[in-house]
Amino acid sequence: MNLPALLASLDARAHAAADWGKVASYIPELARVDPAQFAISVVLADGTLHSAGQSQTRFSIQSVSKVFTLACTLSRIGESLWSRVGREPSGDRFDSILLLEQEQGRPRNPFINAGALVTTDELLSGRAPREALSEILGFIRAAAGDDDIHIDGEVAASEQATGFRNIALANYLKSYDNLKNAPEMVLGTYFHQCAIEMTTEQLARAGRGIAGLPGAPLLLSPVKRRRIAALMMTCGHYDGSGDFAFRTGLPGKSGVGGGILVAVPGVASVAVWSPGLNAWGNSKVGTEAIEQLAHETGWSVFG
Ligand SMILES: NC(=O)CC[C@H](N)C(=O)O
């Protein structure tokens, strides 16, 4: 397989796309992003990095951050997280409130917004938001081996001003006693973690540990990385998780900024970015590129 040529062909194919999908419009800063952009980066088990497209362009990782927050929270408190958050796909949109009432304020999984708010609440546990955020950023920087990874304050402020659904979710969780900290503190931390910006190269490197690549910084036990990857597979694309698994056979976590982090256990860590989204709120062209990559390489957790 000639990976550089394959990635170049994915870039060319992306730019031939008649329909890039629609950028997220509910966060004003993201609504301004040009959808006609594409980047893909792959780190292989031998440590080599291969990219095509705008792999030096920083984008808002949004919900891809939930993977790293979950890793930090599991490292901090371990299994007790699961008394407050489930591990089942929700079958609903990422920002849905529907099941929260039926299930007494215990979110289905850590990747839908309600579950991510609880996970962030655990990480916060009485500390100042700045401390929890520096733990998340510290984890990502160490995982990527790169300190030049930061939070875009304008994106965070933009979501803080308009994130009424998340504000509703946090208050609803609090009413069920499933937030320990004040909703404003949790929301502030969550909006800032979502506003971390990275290039696909940085994200692919940060995903090496979750993919279990040799030589990755040892930040996660094998059990934790397998569990995180299992949740990516079953819940990482919300109500589009089944479709993503069917099309790619790989665990992935998407964000409304158009990024997707994909783990090919023991083989590769992949990051793709294209800001236009499909109907589920996952990168449209990014998903198509991962589908094609999996098809051409034969990469799949199903052998
Ligand atoms: N799917 C996402 O990426 C959602 C993240 C976004 N910050 C939100 O909470 O709505």
13-28 confidence digits (pLDDT tens): 999 988 999 999 999 9
Supply the pLDDT for residue 18.
84
Mutate to test the pocket of ligand 1, among 63, 97, 282 (most ligand atoms within 8 A of CB): 63
Q: In a 3-state reduction of DSSP, which class is residue 50?
A: strand
Nearest by Cα to 193 from 113, 83, 79, 97: 113
C-alpha of residue 31 to centroid of ligand 1, in Å: 13
Q: Is residue 172 among the annotated active site residues?
A: no
Question: What's the ipTM?
Answer: 0.97
| 58 Cα: distance to centroid of ligand 1 (angstroms) | 17
Predicted confidence at residue 1, as pLDDT, reads 78
Determine the Cα–Cα distance for residues 97 and 295; give it in Å rounded to an integer: 36
| Cβ atoms 247, 254 nearer than 8 A | no
Give all strands (DSSP E) within the chain, no chain letters.
39-44, 49-53, 59-60, 150-151, 196-198, 252-254, 259-264, 268-273
Q: In this structure, which amino acid lies at residue 74?
A: L
Return the number of other C-beta atoms located less than 10 Å from residue 298's C-beta.
9
Distance 112 CA to ligand 1 centre (A): 9
Q: What is the mean pLDDT of each run of 10 residues along the chain (303 residues)?
A: 96 94 96 97 98 98 98 95 97 96 97 98 95 98 98 97 97 98 98 98 98 96 97 98 98 98 98 98 98 98 96
Ligand 1 mutation target, pool 67, 158, 159, most atoms within 8 A of CB: 159
Q: Which of 43, 256, 270, 272 is catalytic?
A: 256
Domains of the chain: 3-60+197-297 (3.40.710.10), 63-194 (3.40.710.10)
pLDDT of residue 284: 98
Residue 121: per-residue pLDDT: 98
Instruction: Report the pLDDT value the prediction gives residue 69, as an integer from 0 to 100.
Output: 98
Q: Which residues line ligand 1 (CB under 6 A)?
A: 62-63, 94-95, 113, 159, 166, 194, 255-256, 281
Could you say which DSSP state residue 56 is in?
A: T
43 belongs to the catalytic site: no
Length of the chain (residues): 303
What is the reported pLDDT for 126? 86
269 beta partners? 43, 263
Q: Scanning the structure block, which residue is given the tokens 């971390």?
A: 196
Q: For residues 162 and 224, what is the distance between their CA atoms, to the nearest angstrom?
A: 34
Report the atom number in ligand 1 closest to the C-alpha of 64: 3
